[in-house]
Every structure is written in C-alpha cells, then in structure tokens.
Amino acid sequence: MIRTTFTEQFGVEHPILCGGMTGLGTAELISAVANAGALGFLTALTQPTPEALSKEIARTRELTDKPFGVNLTILPTIDPVPYDEYRAAIIESGITVVETAGSSPEPHLPDFHAANVKVIHKATSVRHALSAERKGVDAISIDGFECAGHPGEDDVPGLILIPAAVRQLRIPVIASGGIANGQGLAAALALGAVAVNMGTRFMATAEAPIHQNVKDQIVANDERSTVLVFRKFHNTARVVRNSVSERIVEISEREDATFDDIAALASGARGRTNVLAEGNMEDGMWWAGQTQGLIHDVAPVKDVIDTVIADAEEIIGRLPSLVV
C-alpha cells in the first residue's frame, strides 16, 4: 500500500484520482473508482440542473459507501450557468471534496469551507496555482501539457511542471496529465506530488459510460494521436486526431479565420452525441490525452487501479537497489 498525505487527508486507500470529465463523470464510473479505493469526481455540469446533480449524488451513494467528490468547472458561457445553485446542491448533499477548474474558485470558497468541503483546484501553470493557493484552496492538481482538454498556453510538460509547482507551493500537489500507469505514479511521487489524476485511462474501462468504439480507439491509438486546436484563439485544447479535429486546425490556420468558422465542427454536443454516445469516430471532436500511447487494454476500473498501484510499488521497491 502507498500512503501519502493525500490518502490521509482525503480518506482514500490509494493516491489516485479520476478527475472531472464532462459526460463521463456519472454514478457508474465514479462509484467504481470509489469502490476500488481511489477518489473520483462526478461532473456537476454533466447534469442539466442542480436538482439532477443532487439525484446523481444520491444514485452514486446507492452504489458505494466510500468517499467521492464533485467537479465544478467554472467557465464563461453563452447561457448563464446557475453556479450558486450547483454549489448549494453539492453542499446540501453532504459532499466533502470538490474539484474546481476553469476560472477562479474564489467566489465559491467561503461557502465550501464553511461547510467543511475541501477544494482541489486544477491549474496549468505555477503562477495560477500560487494564485489559487493564496485564495485558500486546499490542494492543487497541476495539469501538464500532455493532458487532454485545456493545457494552458505555456506548453510546459509534467516532468518540469510538477517539481516546479512542488517547490513553490505549500499545499499538496497532485500530478495531472500524462499519467496512465504505475510508472507514472512512481515518477510523480518522486517529483514531489502526493497523488496522480488520471482521465484518459479511465475512459478505457468497462464502467466508462461511452461507446465501446471510443474505448477501442483509445487502445488502438498511440502517443501521436492527438492534435492541438484553438491555439489561434488562445484557448488551446488537446483532442484526439481525426478528420474533424484536423479540419478545425486547417481552417484555424487561415489568416482571417474566426471561431465562428469552426464552431459547428467543434461543438461539444456533437462530440458527446456522435462520438461518445453513438461511436461514430469521425463525426465529431472528442478529448483524450497523449497517454493513449500507454493504454493497451479496456479493463474494469478495479483492475486498472490495482495494476497501477502494484506496478508503482514494484518500481519504488527496487529503486533503492540502484544506490551504491
């Protein structure tokens, strides 16, 4: 067993998180993560209303009696999101840990902390992590350039970003992005992190609520099977390489291109429906990280977590023999 300040502070068996993933952070996956001894996060905005989130939290509790959290991603949207109501639903449901991402979590911290809810904030740079620390978050999940989703605009990979964050932060640091196996966990701990956050690896599990074609594609893909989109618009995102994402890049490279020119192709609803739900792999933009190159099977969540821990323990156990 690997014990860290993370396992002690958050009351879980293993220093592994399944962070918030839109469309995937539902009861089936997150309860499986919790039952396997790790910390998973339901995604609040996957649920259409705060009331639906409360029901999903209750449904998760029917499937596990172990700790789990909720992700609250704070982003500017065309249609206003009732963040205060989602926050209230989280608190009233008795959730004890929240993962925030996107914009500053500051407006939400007083209510969360008054209810004894710990807040882990996801950041893509040391300067943003330090800002979140000053505002009072309890831990930082530092997201390297290898990650799926939005890695920021600095292009700093985890091997640099993790120890840079650990050196300057006083609160616990969780390594996120580029981790999918025991080697990654052992490396992250060596770099000073107290736990790892995996996303893409949990997509390729039996319990992930997505089409089998998506899971099989992740296994078939390699570390080169992603592309960066939205760079021109300073909102860089790493997505899976397919005909849609390559078309987005092609259009974006035009000198006069605007986001409106790619909006239909980049639609999140299109990716969730056509790809994740229906398994039409070339009919939308979808998200996964470079860790696709490290994923070689679709397995139950418990098997994934047990293997990551066993491999990390084996690596950590033999490292002292290298010191003469």
Q: What's the pLDDT score for residue 5?
A: 96
pLDDT band at 316 (very low <50, low <70, confident <90, very high): very high
Look at residue 220 and tell me if it is in a domain: no
Establish how many alpha carbons lie within 13 A of residue 147's alpha carbon, considering only the half-sphere containing its beta carbon.
Answer: 33
Q: What is the pLDDT of residues 130-162, one digit of tens each?
A: 999 999 999 999 999 999 999 999 999 999 999
Look at residue 43 and tell me if it is in a domain: yes
Q: What is the mean pLDDT of residues 237-250?
A: 96
Domain co-membership, 72 together with 128? yes
Token couple for 236:
């860089």
Calculate the dihedral angle through the C-alpha atoms of 123, 126, 128, 134, rounding to the nearest 10 degrees: 110
pLDDT band at 101 (very low <50, low <70, confident <90, very high): very high
Token couple for 121:
């904030």
Helices (H), the chain: 5-10, 27-35, 50-63, 83-92, 109-114, 126-135, 158-168, 182-190, 200-203, 212-220, 243-252, 268-270, 301-318
Look at residue 292 and tell me if it is in a domain: no
Domain co-membership, 135 together with 267? no
In angstroms, the CA 151 to CA 58 distance is 32
In angstroms, the CA 210 to CA 156 distance is 30
pLDDT band at 115 (very low <50, low <70, confident <90, very high): very high
- CB-CB contact of 231 with 152 (8 Å): no
The region that residue 117 occupies, defined by phi over 0 for left and psi between -120 and 50 for alpha, beta otherwise, is beta
Q: What is the pLDDT of residues 262-296, one digit of tens each?
A: 999 999 889 999 999 999 999 999 999 999 999 99
Domain co-membership, 170 together with 258? no
Q: What's the pLDDT score for residue 89?
A: 98
Using DSSP's 3-state secondary structure scheme, residue 177 falls into coil
Q: How far is the first Cα of the chain from the last one, in angstroms, to the nearest whole number? A: 26
- Using CA atoms, how far residue 129 sits from 92, 170, 174, 193, in Å, is 28, 11, 11, 14
- Write 243-249 long-range contacts (CB < 8 A, 24+): 243/282, 244/282, 244/283, 244/284, 244/285, 245/285, 248/285
Q: What CATH number has the domain bearing residue 164?
A: 3.20.20.70
- Using CA atoms, how far residue 269 sits from 85, 220, 276, in Å, is 23, 24, 10
Average pLDDT, the chain: 96
Percentage of the residues of the chain whose pLDDT score is greater than 70: 100
Total domain count, the chain: 2
Domain co-membership, 187 together with 278? no
Q: What's the pLDDT score for residue 76?
A: 74
Range of the domain at 93: 5-209+297-322
Is the pLDDT at 257 greater than 80, yes or no?
yes
Domain co-membership, 25 together with 123? yes
Q: What is the pLDDT of residues 38-88, one digit of tens each?
A: 999 999 999 999 999 999 999 999 999 999 999 999 987 777 899 999 999
Domain co-membership, 232 together with 250? yes
Q: What's the pLDDT score for residue 278?
A: 96
Domain co-membership, 161 together with 305? yes
Domain co-membership, 64 together with 130? yes
In angstroms, the CA 84 to CA 296 distance is 41
Domain co-membership, 110 together with 203? yes
- Using CA atoms, how far residue 324 sits from 73, 318, 319, in Å, is 48, 13, 11
Look at residue 164 and tell me if it is in a domain: yes
In angstroms, the CA 288 to CA 227 distance is 10
Look at residue 217 and tell me if it is in a domain: no
Domain co-membership, 198 together with 239? no
Look at residue 233 and tell me if it is in a domain: yes
Please return the burial class of 237, using the count of CB atoms within 10 Å of its CB with bins 0-12, 13-18 and 19+. buried
Q: What's the pLDDT score for residue 75?
A: 85
Domain co-membership, 160 together with 191? yes
